[in-house]
Chain A
């Protein structure tokens, strides 16, 4: 664990590589980032599902999912949608530029507990960012898990993140990768339809399986409904929440969903817990 007695002081980091995942108004850009200080870098040990406060000095910080697994190497990846002041400033950054990083924050997916089970990730849009570290982690530890199924969808093929990785995934016999887009496109040889419908079509068995979902609220709602129809118990379902955050360390107050601080008690929640939190789906 990193020992830093002032949780508001960020680490300096350098953008090692950056590329656009999607285009348009709300483009998504991925940053591969390396922490500048060697000791901090060695000490940094995030787990899939955790987030970090990333920012630009003079502009501010945003809480962003860490979209890589620690098994991938001594770097961090963030996939950021251009939305507000901070994310606009982040989008200006190019290879070699500096950003700040604080974290890692929050709990994580209990991947140790899930050993021996089949892992089913169901992502939509930018919601695939916190799913990706699970996929990468399981890929690096196939022997420990009972298999991996990935469902990922977006409005159009242009809105899918991590496109460059799907070809390798198609070659991977252990991974069952299912892509879908909302409306028909030329040259698209995967599924067409919404993510929750695709889940029903695939009809995965709930037996010894853990389902994790993240995406737009409306998608999550129907995915949860459909998982229940397929026979999944609440305790077999996980999701990850986001709320506006400023501190990341359970002080500034705003990220609470009911009595839970999303930055501390989350972002990962088991559905059995989550359905008892009145504001969780607000």
Chain B
């Protein structure tokens, strides 16, 4: 192993382990802010350090500190204390490693060696995701059972049966996808979607398999225990469901596990149906061959984008009432300066690439990989937004409706989809 190999292993593993954790902050802020805006209220806008509120990010810090310093209670009536403590750990760990096999950029070629950009460069792909998300329900079941509490146990029961019901349509939807893609490796699947059809339509999963996409996304919502399928913690019936007895950091770990699972399943949805890391219409080879025009376009687009973004910050980051020397305007100026500095640094790098880099060199490969990581993260953020959006639009299902949807609607549809897909693939040879 050369030094480069070791660095690449560290980089890939840290991206796949820490990006989901960093996205916690994005998820929680987005959840609150989007919920607020959808309900015509403003969301968190008070907590700040020296007046810097960072669009609600400081609120997360405050909540995190609160949870970290709270007393961690294990009730007397909890008999199996080991399992009780183990449950949130399983939930969180399963959520993090389920992201390990999702590719966040195309295979990176450096010094003639190629590196698969996944946390674990392994071929099991989508099967790993199905297995690990199936495993994560153990955390919920253990939590509900070891809490020795009726509400918790009912929540865990619901969650278990829900996951069993929805794993089947999910798995069947994946089968019809695999017939189309011809591989279970997520890197292959993402590369397949980089092709275009008739020259201008990207061959994304959602266009090739719209029914499978609907089934998979619905099932993924159910797997994540998100509204409208959050019966495991339905507060109107079960108080808080499986995490009722948990407090302080153990509750926080459950909470974080839920959001990391949401990130991971968004990443898988993006990889399966929305072209993964591919920038629409531009495949990796094209970008590497034309690195100079690409760098030039970025060089022009970024400041223009930043100009309008700064305007937006100015418009929205001000006090909505009469106030002398509005401190929020000063705050907006600080944000805008920070963003302009960031843009300036990126511009310097792009200029260097424009001036010195030749096509098909390490610099070109790295720039393309970075662009693909950014594309992937933007797509995942949009998918996370869909999760939040759905949560604040649709009310919770009743339990029998949930099972009815899973077994009577999604399962036959998924089977039908497999037959139709198989017939078409056989007919087209």
B is bound to A: no
Q: Which residues of A contact B (CB under 8 A)?
A: none
